[in-house]
Amino acid sequence: MLRLMLMRHAKSSWGDPDVQDFDRPLNARGRDAAPLVGGYIGEHGLAPRHIFCSAARRTRETLAFLLPTLPGTTTITISSALYTFEMDDLAHLLTGLRETPSPLMLIGHNPAIHDLALALADDDGSPLRTELRRKFPTAGLAIIDFDGTDWRAIRPATGRLVEFVRPRDLAAAGD
């Protein structure tokens, strides 16, 4: 079985109009949300073995807030190729992988992350799938399982959405 974890970067700051999109940092809400999701991953034994992260500042900062909450050893690849808003770019990366261990996490940007999650997860009509279709919020995490052991064999609608984690749900549960 393969497990894919798709995470959208945490909420970024739009406070300085002179900062280029690639260089936008997280805002306070983002700095709170990323460790919440990381804590959930750690507490539920969902730690990825390999993380591919966009090279944009907001994704790297999201990753930095996740890492202290993850148990074990995780291989990390920072790539400018993941600074994309196109689902096809992410799908091409996935199907080009060989011998990359599962669980695998991608930390990236919308609409690419959302579109990829919708494309890969079978539309089974579940409430989880309905929530995913509605919105993929910042610091959201979709976990999709696939039969098989080869990333190159992944095709649309062949995955099972097993979890969809939103920071607001985690924050509400902690109150």
Percentages of the chain per state (helix, strand, coil), in multiples of 5? 40, 20, 35
Domains of the chain: 2-174 (3.40.50.1240)
Residue 12: phi, psi to the nearest 5? Answer: -105, 165
The span from the CA of 11 to the CA of 137, in Å, is 9
Say whether pTM exceeds 0.85.
Answer: yes
Q: Which residues pair with 3 in a beta bridge?
A: 145
Q: Residue 175 pLDDT more than 50?
A: no
User: Residues 15-28: what's their mean pLDDT?
Assistant: 94
- Please provide the DSSP assignment of 5-72 as one string: EEEEPPPBP---TTS-GGG--B-HHHHHHHHHHHHHHHHTT---SEEEEESSHHHHHHHHHHGGG--S
Question: What are the pLDDT digits (tens) for 122-154?
Answer: 999 999 999 999 999 999 999 999 999 999 999
Q: How far apart are CA 131 and CA 24, in angstroms?
A: 28
